[in-house]
Amino acid sequence: MTEYGEQGHVEPDGPAIERRDGHLRIRKFSVEEMDNNVYVLACTRTNEALVVDAAARPDRIRQELTDVSALAVVQTHGHWDHVRAWDDLKQDPGLRIWGHPGDAELFPRPVDVELTDGDVIEVGDLRVEVIHTPGHTDGSLHFLVQGEERPHLFTGDSLFPGGPGNTWKDPVRFAQLMDGLESKVFDRLPDETWVYPGHGDDTTLGTERPQLAEWRARGW
């Protein structure tokens, strides 16, 4: 385990990093050539935890869960690079996998629990809110948890440092994603909200907020 740096940088298949904020402990590591981030959100009092994305390297994911009691894997969306460990993690001793029904055609198997906008997942003392932000995929989700010092937002491939996720130059999907990001994220949450994307380094809403008009204008 290495120190959690300012940008939250991890190397693919390299050491995990970890930070704490009150009863919230966040572990981040990256797997395989697509540099997929996997996160473990744990309650420090009960050791209950959620995994964000069954991306790849199931043995590595299990290794990072040996000191917690994982309730489930929650999927930010269903693209192939985020679900490669799905079947292995379902095997004995299996983990349940939860996601939005909008990505049912992308998921390799039916989810164990369907998540919808506004759901709250209790993880020990933590309350993890589900935010539906379609556009990158129909079932894309954010997961929001409040720490003692700041909110923490897990955005999958819907929000990165420098802009929204890929909508493949589809103006309808782009507008849908931007509308959701503005109304459900930027209009609601403070600048200090830490953003944990599905690939690469972290950012904050305050860092990205001044660029919203530019993103709208450029169309991607």
Q: Which of 7, 39, 18 is nearest to 162 (CA)?
A: 7
pLDDT at residue number 12: 97
Tally of structural domains, the chain: 1
The answer to whether residues 72 and 50 touch, using CB atoms and an 8 Å cutoff, is yes
pLDDT tops 80 at residue 181: yes
109-114: list long-range contacts, CB under 8 Å, 24+ apart. Answer: 111/75, 112/72, 113/72
Mean pLDDT lowest among 90-104, 108-122, 156-170: 90-104
> What is the average per-residue pLDDT within 179-195?
98
The answer to whether residues 36 and 14 touch, using CB atoms and an 8 Å cutoff, is no
pLDDT at residue number 132: 98
Q: Distance between alpha carbon 167 and the CA centroid of its chain, in Å?
A: 18
pLDDT tops 80 at residue 167: yes
pLDDT at residue number 1: 80
Query: The whole model's pTM is what?
Result: 0.98
pLDDT at residue number 172: 97
pLDDT tops 80 at residue 103: yes
CATH code for the domain in which residue 53 is found: 3.60.15.10
pLDDT at residue number 217: 95
- Name the percent of the chain lying above pLDDT 70: 100
Q: Supply φ then ψ for residue 58, to 5 degrees.
A: -60, -35
DSSP 11: -
The residue range of the domain holding 165 is 2-218
Residues in the chain: 220
4, two tokens: 């959690």
| Banded pLDDT at 93 (limits 50, 70, 90) | confident
> What is the average per-residue pLDDT within 134-150?
98
Q: Return mean pLDDT, the chain.
A: 97
Beta partners for 129? Answer: 120, 144
Q: Residues 41-90: pLDDT tens digits? A: 999 999 999 999 999 999 999 999 999 999 999 999 999 999 999 999 99
| Banded pLDDT at 6 (limits 50, 70, 90) | confident
Q: Supply φ then ψ for residue 195, to 5 degrees.
A: -110, 125
Q: Which of 63, 110, 56 is nearest to 88 (CA)?
A: 56
Q: Residues 39-54: pLDDT tens digits? A: 999 999 999 999 999 9
| Banded pLDDT at 166 (limits 50, 70, 90) | very high
pLDDT tops 80 at residue 92: no
pLDDT tops 90 at residue 3: no
The answer to whether residues 138 and 179 touch, using CB atoms and an 8 Å cutoff, is no
Q: Which of 24, 28, 35 is nearest to 7 (CA)?
A: 28
The residue written with tokens 């420090």 in the block is: 44
